[in-house]
Amino acid sequence: MASKRTVRKPIALRRGDAIGLVAPASPVDRRRLDEGIRELEAIGYRVLCHPQTLARQEFYAGPHADRVQALLAQLEDPGIRAVFCARGGYGSNYVVEQLSQRSNLKRLQRLAPKIVMGYSDITTLLTFLSQTLGWVTFQGPMLTKDLASGESGYERTMMEKMLADVVRGYHLESDAVVLRPGTATGWLAGGCLSLLVATLGTPQEIETAGSILLLEDVDEKPYRIDRMLFQLRRAGKFKDVKGVIFGEMPGCTLGPPPHEVLQNVILQAFEGMNIPIAFGMRFGHNSGHCLTLPLGIRAKLEADATVKLTTLEPAVRPAEKKSKTAHKSLKKKPK
């Protein structure tokens, strides 16, 4: 990835900054939206909810064009430091299709990157912003699910450090299971498995070479997971992958833990590849305490007795300081 383009980091998010809310996919529940807003405000952020967020049209949060313009408005607003997605569902593919059009793409290319965060169907949008514009994006808590559940729904300390620390990376010790031990370094890529598979054959096809690949999903039975992993492998997307981390995969098993069938499916999909594989990290669809992981930056995966993930650089940058140099006016000497 680094040889193709420069990674562009957004400005860090501080308490007191404004967070914009949009719904690029499905409609949201007003009660859960309000709960998520209260959580962000309790931390100390200002929240600006775009009117489109409450729109409804069939199984979308309003017409495709309206969702596109709402997102662009939030990204272009200089008073908004970050954009959080209210929920996933379905529909971000239409948003990405329209963002790829020349007029909208030119608007995006003129912008400095901003923090954009979500998961599930939002994977499509995060992948587009990362690969097309070089933005560091964030696989992290969704407003109407994780943030609305309070601190049992997401890892608040991790979220704030990932979005605010301009000096160092983040070290995470996870209770994930080691399926194949090893150590690997690469850039973080991936997201919701079914959405990544849906990019194949499109202009936004997922790039994976040199990556630590993040894969997660929900309510997909093991044979469906097998089919999607098979398709990614046949498409060459596992070539030169340095390591793989699977999410908790809720609803993707045939019974209670230890989820042997699903874990065997995963091991077979990466058979012959001497890379570390971990299973059960709480990113994306989760059972609580959702993690925030930046896509596009370098990280190190250590899978041994435990699973450790360390980002090797900050995901955000400091705001540019305004020059304090005063320009003195030149005065003509009297004759």
Longest dimension (CA), the chain: 96
Sheet holding 307-311: strands in order across?
171-174, 307-311, 298-303, 182-192, 211-216, 243-247, 277-281, 177-180
As a whole number of Å, the end-to-end CA separation of the chain is 65
Q: Which residues are catalytic?
A: 120, 216, 285
Nearest to 166 by CA among 9, 329, 314: 314
Write the single-letter amino acid at 169.
G
**CA Rg value for the chain:** 21
Q: How far apart are CA 161 and CA 155, in angstroms?
A: 10
Which two tokens mark 249?
Answer: 């995969």
What is the sign of the dihedral through the CA atoms of 115, 118, 119 and 125?
A: negative
Write down the H helix ranges in the chain. Answer: 30-43, 64-76, 92-99, 102-109, 123-133, 156-164, 193-198, 222-234, 260-269
Which two tokens mark 167?
Answer: 């000096």
**What is the torsion angle, in degrees rounded to the nearest 10, for the CA atoms of residue 136, residue 288, residue 154 and residue 285?**
20
**Beta strands 211-216 and 243-247: pairing type?**
parallel
